[in-house]
Amino acid sequence: MMLWALAGLAVLLLAPLRLRAEASSDPARLRVELGLLGGLLPVALVDSTRARKPPRPKPEPARPAKKKRRPSARMLRAGARAGIEALGCLRIDRLRGEARIGLGDPALTGEFWGRASGILIALPWRGFRLVPLFDRQALEGEGEIALSVIPARLLPVLARFVWRLR
């Protein structure tokens, strides 16, 4: 029995997780899907096209609410460092889309477009376009991104995060 549990844990840690997100501005929609076991078991995390349940009313608290504790500076620094390290473990499988951006002022739009285009050209993928809108102020577009990560690669990042918190 223990051997099956270890084998199951090994499969969960070594099979890649796939995160896929699609967004569009016209009509406004967002869909985020997590694929377990290399994408074989898709789980919808966010789907804006699905009907929502009305929120339940919250009961009145009988006593005053406790003050929320803020994270310490040490935890914030360790969390930021761990987040950056975790980004290094991600692999971008697919990035495609188009963003149409207008800042209202043609000069500002041109300056933004020039700076952002330089960054986009330097990136290894070519499926994303940036289109300037010089005649109006707008942020529109559609896009899709697919990321994958092997959970076992995140274990050293988690260990370093816990070590920094001690």
Residues 6+ apart with CB under 8 A from 72: none
pLDDT at 142 over 70: yes
Q: Which of 131, 140, 142, 29 is nearest to 95 (CA)?
A: 142
Mean pLDDT of 140-153: 90
- Is this model's pTM higher than 0.85 or not? no
- Identify the three-state secondary structure at position 5: helix
Residues 6+ apart with CB under 8 A from 29: 22, 23, 48, 49
Instruction: Give the start-to-end residue ranges of the domains of the chain.
Output: 15-49+75-165
pLDDT of residue 65: 66
Do 35 and 20 touch, CB atoms closer than 8 A? yes
pLDDT of residue 118: 86
Per-residue pLDDT tens for 65-94?
677 788 888 888 988 999 999 988 898 888
Mean pLDDT of 6-13: 77
pLDDT of residue 133: 92
Per-residue pLDDT tens for 90-129?
988 888 999 999 998 999 999 999 999 888 888 777 788 8
Do 128 and 120 touch, CB atoms closer than 8 A? yes
Write b or e for each residue in 79-107: b if 16 or more Cβ atoms lie within 10 A of its Cβ, otherwise e.
eeebeeeeeebeeeeebebebbbbbeeee
